[in-house]
Structure 1
Amino acid sequence: MVEVEMIVIVILVVALVLVLFKLLIKPDSSDQDAALRKELREMNSASTETLRKTLEGLGQIQREHLVDVSKNIEKLKEGNEKKLDQMRETVDEKLQTTLEKRIGESFKLVSDRLEAVQRGLGEMQSLATDVGGLKKVLTNVSTRGALGEIQAEQILQNILTPDQYSKNVNTHPACKGAVEFAIKLPGPDGDLNNPVWLPIDCKFPKEDYERLMDAYDSGDKEVIKKASNAFKANVTGKAKTIRKEYVAAPYTTDFAVMFLPTEGLYADVVRQPGLFESLQRDHQIVVTGPSTLAAFVNSLQMGFRTLALETNASEVYNVLGAVKTEFVKFGEHLGKLHKQLNTAANTIGGDGDSINRRLRAMERTLKDVESLTPIGANEVLGLTDGQESYES
């Protein structure tokens, strides 16, 4: 369209230029002027008509183009709407699927957690029941002692052999009660048949220990001090009892072991200022917990191994002495065999009157004698058919 308009404008411009050119060339001719004006009017009318028609054609073309553009826009709009609807449906579908999946997973996770919580509550109820039963067990003094004995026996069984310790032992003739465990140590001159006993007694001062824990929780200094003094007095009293009843040298060692069945109880004994040292210094009682008893018994086990080596050292020395004696005899026999072998070697191949010397002399003498065939030799020597001559 723009090109058509440009062509029309160019034609009009050219026509005007021609008219002006004619006017400038013939200015004096009136007839020509009239003719020129008439021609200009006709050209103007023709140009106007041509321009009108051109503009009408352009307008028609423009209207048709606008109609086409409108149709294309409508089609594009409809296509965009369809695509948007499809995209909306796809997005809605994916969002719905994802949302349902996430919600399902969330509900499943919540359900699993609730189920785990339910199981935990059940286990806590069972644990509470078991704790209640354990509390009843620990309330009984004899049962509490049996718990400590079981734990101590397990430690001893894991480290020592059955013949290295005993249960319920009367450690000395005047002993009024039997100590729970006693380790056998070598007696005089290392005699294991007449051992020296190392007493191990299990104690569990539960009530005073619990009162001390409650005092720590309260944070009251006076209550803590009072509970600590009661706890120290209880432990010291038990140490005196062990010392009095089970320690009697030379039947036993000059000290004994007090076993506390929990690490917390042992830690609180060690935590009390001066209590641990006082028990060792004043009452010859070594306080141990589960881990320290295991370490203590391990050290004794190393001592047992050293003693066994020392006991067997004399036997090993005697065996080495016997081996040395037999080795000397073996050397003497080897010397005799060497002499005999030298004598035989000299008899066979020596420089004197030996077998090799005589054999060489015989070979020199018989050098010029012609050898017979094996069959002829057999006939001369009188050998049977089953025998052969030396040369064959």
Structure 2
Amino acid sequence: MNDFGSLLSQPVAQLGASIFTLGHVLAVTLIGLALVIAIPVMAMRRAARAQAQIAEEAASRARLAEERMAEIMRAQAEMQGRIGTIAEVFGSRQAELTKALSERLDGMTSRLGHSITEQTKSTHENLAKLQERLAVIDTAQNNIQSLAGQVVQLQHILSNKQTRGAFGQSRMEAIVADGLPHGAYEFQATLSNGNRPDCLVRMPNGAPDLVIDAKFPLESFNAIRAAAEEGGPEAQKIAAQAFRRDIEVHIKAIADKYLITGETQETAFMFVPSESIFAEIHENFEALVQRAHRARIVIVSPSLLMLSIQVIQAVLKDARMREQAHLIQGEVSRLMEDVGRLDERVRKLQGHFLQANRDIDLILTSSEKVTRRGAKIEALELGEPAPTAPESRATATDTAAHGRLRLHVVEDGE
């Protein structure tokens, strides 16, 4: 034992000031062997623990995958139930919508029929009123044509040379009666002072009447002619003086009897029944003409009386045409009002039709949407979810994860 101890204490090597004995070398060798033996054992234990942990994690992941698959199956069953419920709801809603559309179309058809009936009735009434207005316009037009015919008759009378040859009262009455319409004149009318002129011409617009006197002293003028043919210059002078005196008396009588302020015109006509007498007065008795003018008496021949009557007739015609034009204008104004109301009602009817067309278009659009949604529901495959749905994406993700987990487990097992 001492020999072994001494052997162990024998120096083996020297490194600087340090001396290493055999015991030191043996101790270092034993420690190295212990370390060499201990390291593989620890590594094996560590690997065993890692494999156990991996196996545990794989089992946990398998359990999680199975639970997730069970949840997915439950969600799919729940989705199928919901889709069935949605299909039933859509079916009932479609039936209700079809019924509502039918009722609305029936109500709209009834309203349209009632509105069209009312518009037709109103149109007939307006057309009847329009025909009445047109009848009034036709009557006014006939009156205007009658006035035009009277103008033609006046022109015919003025061209009749035989008629212009008449004398006295009958000639004046013929000219007035032929030139003026009935009611525009009056023969032998009585004035407020009791005098009765040969003719009163009714002036329009409430103006005073025009007096025409036909009591011309024709005997005095015939005496002048007789004196010129049978007597001498003295007889002609006496006849001329008598004629001048008779005319002056006649002018004064007309002015005193027939010129009434506010009742008759300020001027009266003294009718001379012959153009030759009228020419003789203006040629040889200028003083009588001036005296008549001062007395506001106008001496007229048949042609001048016809011209005056023509002017009066034109004035009356213008007044009547103004009255008729006012009547026509009033009727046309009422006609335009009726046409305006008719246009407004037609536009309202057009608006009803346009609104009905828009409602029908909206109904058709809703029906097309319902049809498309029903087609989508019919085309939906309930057994295999669409890949774009959120649940489908989750299922695909879980399936891929489950595949990767199985591959990892297999690799660890290998």
Please indicate the TM-score interval, normalised by the length of the shorter structure: 0.3 to 0.5
TM-score, normalised to structure 2's length?
A: 0.43
Higher Rg: 2
Greater relative contact order (Cα < 8 A, sep 6+): 2
